[in-house]
Every structure is written in C-alpha cells, then in structure tokens.
Amino acid sequence: MRASKIIRRYTNGWLIASLLGAAAILLPILYVMSGLLRPVNENWSAVKAYLLTDYVLGSAKLVLSTGLLATFMGVLLAWLVVGYTFPLRRFYRWALVLPLAVPPYIAAYTYGTMTSYTGIIQSTLRNQFDIRLPHGLIELSSTRGAMFTLSIFLFPYVFLLMRTYLERQSGSYIENGRLLGRSGWSLFTRVVLPISRPAIIAGAMLVTFEVLSDYGVASYFGVQTISTAIFQTWFGMYDIDSAMRLAAWLLVIIVAIFLMERLLRRNRRYGALSSRSKPLQPVRLRGWAAAAATAGCTLVFTIGFALPVAQLILWTGWTYSKVWRADFAHLLVNTLTGAAWATIIVMALAVLSAKAVRMFPLAGAYALSRLMTSGYAIPGAIVAIGILAVFIALDGWLSPLYVWLGRAEGALVLSMSLTMLLAGYVVRFMATGYNAVEAGYDKIPRAYTEAALTLGHRQGGVFWRVELPLLRQAILTGAALTFIEIVKELPLTLLLRPFNFDTLATRAYQYAIDERIYEAALPSLLLVALSLLSVAIVLRLERGRVR
C-alpha cells in the first residue's frame, strides 16, 4: 500500500490527536537536536581532542556490560518464576521488581559507603575480629562499582516486562515445546528466548537508555561516560552549546540503534492468536534444583533490596531527629502529585501513539515514535534545557493574554508553575510507558483488530472494546514503571520546579551531594516506600483481574 493511500484511509482523530501529542513532546527534543545546527566553537575541538574517544568508549563499555548482565539476570529470573514452581516463588514473582524502587544514585552512595573503610563490613571486621582487609579488595569503585550498581538496580526492567509477557503470552508455544520433548535449557533457548524477543528488547532498551543518561552513578564512581562529558563541558567549560551538541549526537545514536533493531526483526510477527487460552502450567522443581532456584532469587533480592534498605533504616536511626522537619508531609504530597499526574499523561500519550504506529505501519511513523521516547536516553538536565526554552518562549507568546488577565508585563506564568515540571516528566519518561504499551500491542494479533473492523466497528470501538482490555496488563505495568521513575527523578525536578517545591528526591540529593549520606537516608527510605506502594497497587489490580 502506498503511504499516501494509507494516510488517506486512516486520517482521523487518532492521527490528529497523536500528532498533536507527538509535536508537544518533540518540540523540546528537537530543540536539543538543533544543537547540531549551531556553529561549532573552539571548545568543541578541545572536547573532541581530549574527551570524546575515552568517554564514548567508557559509555560503550558500561552500556554493553550492564546491558548484558541486566538482561541476562532479568530474562533468567523471569523464566524461573514463570516456568517453574519452587519455595517462595510467589513472593519473588513480585519481590524481584523491588530493586527498581531504589534510585541507583542512592544505591551507589549506600554501597559505596557500606564497602568503604568506615563502612559496616570493614569496620565490623576491624573492630570485632581485628581483621584488616587490604585496600581495594571489596571497595566498590570505578567501572566495577558502576556496573554492579546499574545492573542490580536496573535488571527489574527486563524482569518485569519479560515476566508480564511470558505470563500473558499463551502458554501454548511453550507447552508444545515441552510436548515435543524440549525441556530445561533447550526449552529456554530454543522456544522461550525467541518468542520473547519484543519484551527482552523493550526491557534491554530501557536499561541501555538509563545507563546512557545516568550521571549520578557514573560521577560517583568516577566513570567517564558521554553523560559525564556533557556535564564537564557545561559545568567546567561553561559551554552549554557544546554540551547540547554532545547530547544531540547521543540522540542520533539512540534513534539509529532503534531503527537497526526494527530492521532486524522486520519480518517477524509476535502476535499470538490464542492469546486468551490457558496460561502456562509451571513445572515443579524438586530437591536441589528447587533449593538452588530459591537461593538464587534470595541472593538477588538481598543484594538488590533487603541489604541496602536495611542499611538505610540503620542510618535513618542515627539521623532521624536531626533530619525530620515538619515539611516532610509536603515532600510526600509534592512527590505524589507530580508523579501521579505525569504518569496519567504519559500513559494516555503512550497508548495514543502506540495505536497510531499500529495503524500506520510506516517507517516514518515508527521513527517518530522512537524520537518521542528518546528523551529517556539523554541526561535529564539537557531535556530540562529544551523544556525551559520551549516554556519561556510560550510565556513570551502568551504575554498579551497574561497582561489581559492582570499580570505584569513579561511575567512568567507557565514556566513558574508545575506545568513545566510535568511537561519535563512526560518528555523524559515517555519511554517507560510507551515501551510497555508497544510490547503489549505486539502480542495482540492484527487479525483481532481487522476482524472487529470487518464486523463494522470503527477504530474507536475496536480500541475500547477489543484492544484496551487486552492491553490492560501492559498499561498497568507501564504506569507502575513510569510512576516509580518519576518518584526517583532528580535533575529535571531540580531545574524545572516552581518555588518551594521540594520532593523526596531533591531532599535526598541535598544531603547526598554534600557527602552526608546518613542524613539522606530518611528521604531515600520514604522514596522507596512510595515506590513500593505503587507496586502493591498494581499487584492488587492485577490480581483482581486474573482471578
């Protein structure tokens, strides 16, 4: 079908609504991209000469190692809890998502301090047993530290998307595989892995994005990445133009990776016609196999959640009386308000654009959707500059309206309100929402949609009656992920918030930046609790539906 014909056939409210959404999100991103068009200054050559190679290599190393490790852990653990039963399986089915509730930069500080000379491990050994470890033996530092922290605290992206996919994906492929004599490792590699590709990729992409845009962990451990190069150019050389240029190149690379991936799986379809049929029947593990499965999950859960949280609780005990201020209720409300509204908007736009991409199977539509989600892969502060530029311009245009409403000439209204911060959240976290919804759409066969259309439903009816019920799980997952992300968010909040708007994350940052990690424990802990709450809500909704 020719493009023009497709477009004519589908030109309707869906298209218009999703294009509007896309435009709003793309504006700040395009602003960042426009960094490529501005003239090069002399700093850029210094950046190229001394920074670029090392930092690109540093990023590549970190992305590859973390990406592989996190994907490996996520996929394996997801298959374990879906495909088998073993003691505590039902607990770990959701508990292994929890490391996501711990912000990686907080985890970096926590583990960095725990393993340091004054940390609990070394000080206990030294004071109780008079054992002095040689320096550098257990200290988490540099690439090792960043790899560890990012893998352990980001793998749940892969785990969650993969698990949801496997559970909702009809068990028939896997049952058939079993009937045909595949089991254990060969079932996993020959059947489970190939059919789960969209979910694995969606999860791995989120991990990759997060690693690329990470600044907190990399700068704590002193790892040189593109993100740290961006900030060194901005903060050190006072050269925001060159910093934006670096960020723009980062964007170009991201979109290229996406297009390549799409090209590679061009001809495959992952929809399952028997989507509503019986779910996968897990196999019972016995003896040492069951013990090993439980032990493995316990180990990951302990390192990724129990241990750091226990440490944070201990530190909170030390500093509680000093840190507690009456405004903590405000912090909670602010965090909650921002995250809830932004999540709702993200999910609405994600569904809209995923639907649009499904209706217009064009490379252009796909590239556009990827560009919309690319805000996730560049450092938050750079996204923030794009947003700031757009909002200040917007306030300029709206100025006559403000004057008419009785404001002073040239007042900043939108850019001094929460709207700007919400817009920032939406631009930055489209990816978490969109990826989940897209993976959900991928497994709804087009035949469903086409059948419904043939039966006389319009696109709208098809969406509400056929697709939405099937997407429910994916939307819930995406919403939970997005919510947790926003609760943890820091750089955008710092730069885009209105006066006196503190969140739990900014309060934690306020202490951590000054190396007062013990004081940062209380807000961090509350932040983790809030994320836990959202996971619990999703679980409840999910249970209500499945049973």
Partner 1 sequence: MQASWKSWTIGAALIMALALVAGCGGGNGATGAKNNSQGAADPAKTTQEQPAEQTEQTGGEVNIYTARHYDVDAELYSEFTAETGIKVNVIEGKAPELIEKLKREGASTPADLFITVDGGILNTAKTEGLLQPIESAVLDAQIGEGLTDTDKEWVGLSTRARVIVYAKDRVEPSELSTYEALADEKWKGRLLVRSSTNLYNQSLLASLISIDGEEAAERWAAGIAANLARDPEGGDRDQAKAVVAGAGDIAIMNTYYVGQMSVSDDPEEVKVAEQVGVFFPNQETTGTHINISGAGLIKHSKNQANAIKLLEFLTSKTAQEKISQANFEYPVNAEAKLPELLASWGEFKTQQLDFAVYGENNPKAVEIANKVGWK
Distances (CA, A) of 333 to 51, 152, 426, 463: 42, 29, 19, 34
Give the residue carrying structure tokens 């990023």. Answer: 59
Residue 362 C-beta: closest distance to partner 1, Å: 21
The single residue among 141, 172, 275, 298 that binds partner 1, judged by CB under 8 A, is 141
User: Taking contact as CB under 8 A, which single stretch among the options 87-95, 166-174, 195-203, 340-348 is the one that binds partner 1?
Assistant: 340-348
Based on DSSP, count helices (H) and strands (E) in the chain, helices before strands: 27, 2
Near partner 1 in 356-375, by CB under 8 A: none
Residues 498-517 as x/- pattern, contact with partner 1 by CB under 8 A:
xxxxx---x--xxx-xxxx-
Is residue 461 a contact residue for partner 1 (CB under 8 A)?
yes
Residue 245 C-beta: closest distance to partner 1, Å: 15
Is residue 348 a contact residue for partner 1 (CB under 8 A)?
yes
Residue 412 C-beta: closest distance to partner 1, Å: 5
User: Six-digit token pair at 202?
Assistant: 């969606």
Cβ nearer to partner 1, comparing 198 with 491: 491
Paired residues of 283 in beta bridges:
84
The single residue among 59, 169, 170, 228 that binds partner 1, judged by CB under 8 A, is 228
Of the candidates 154, 139, 193, 140, the one whose C-alpha atom is nearest the C-alpha of residue 63 is 154
# residues near partner 1 by CB under 8 A: 100
Task: Say how far apart CA 475 and CA 495 lie, in whole Å.
Answer: 29
Task: Say how far apart CA 283 and CA 547 lie, in whole Å.
Answer: 20
Near partner 1 in 376-395, by CB under 8 A: 381, 384-385, 388-389, 392, 395
Cβ nearer to partner 1, comparing 14 with 376: 14
191: Cβ contacts below 8 Å, ≥ 6 apart: 173, 174, 177, 182
Whether 395 contacts 415, CB under 8 Å: yes
Cβ nearer to partner 1, comparing 456 with 544: 456
Task: Say how far apart CA 547 and CA 527 lie, in whole Å.
Answer: 31
Distances (CA, A) of 327 to 324, 468, 496, 504, 510: 8, 40, 20, 11, 15
Largest CA-CA distance found in the chain, in angstroms, rounded: 79
Task: Say how far apart CA 112 and CA 327 lie, in whole Å.
Answer: 29
Is residue 10 a contact residue for partner 1 (CB under 8 A)?
no
User: Six-digit token pair at 539?
Assistant: 């679980």
Q: Where does 376-514 have alpha helices with state H?
A: 380-404, 418-442, 446-454, 459-462, 468-488, 491-496, 504-512
CA 92 vs. chain centroid, Å, equals 21
Is residue 489 a contact residue for partner 1 (CB under 8 A)?
no
Residues 32-71 as x/- pattern, contact with partner 1 by CB under 8 A:
-----------x--x---xx--------------------
The single residue among 9, 64, 176, 222 that binds partner 1, judged by CB under 8 A, is 222
Is residue 236 a contact residue for partner 1 (CB under 8 A)?
yes
Near partner 1 in 105-124, by CB under 8 A: 112, 116-119, 122-123
Cβ nearer to partner 1, comparing 16 with 256: 16
Is residue 125 a contact residue for partner 1 (CB under 8 A)?
no
Is residue 324 a contact residue for partner 1 (CB under 8 A)?
no
The single residue among 1, 2, 5, 13 that binds partner 1, judged by CB under 8 A, is 13
Cβ nearer to partner 1, comparing 184 with 498: 498
Residue 538 C-beta: closest distance to partner 1, Å: 20
Residue 267 C-beta: closest distance to partner 1, Å: 32
Whether 110 contacts 307, CB under 8 Å: no
Distances (CA, A) of 531 to 101, 157, 469: 5, 14, 25
Near partner 1 in 394-433, by CB under 8 A: 395, 406-413, 415-419, 421-422
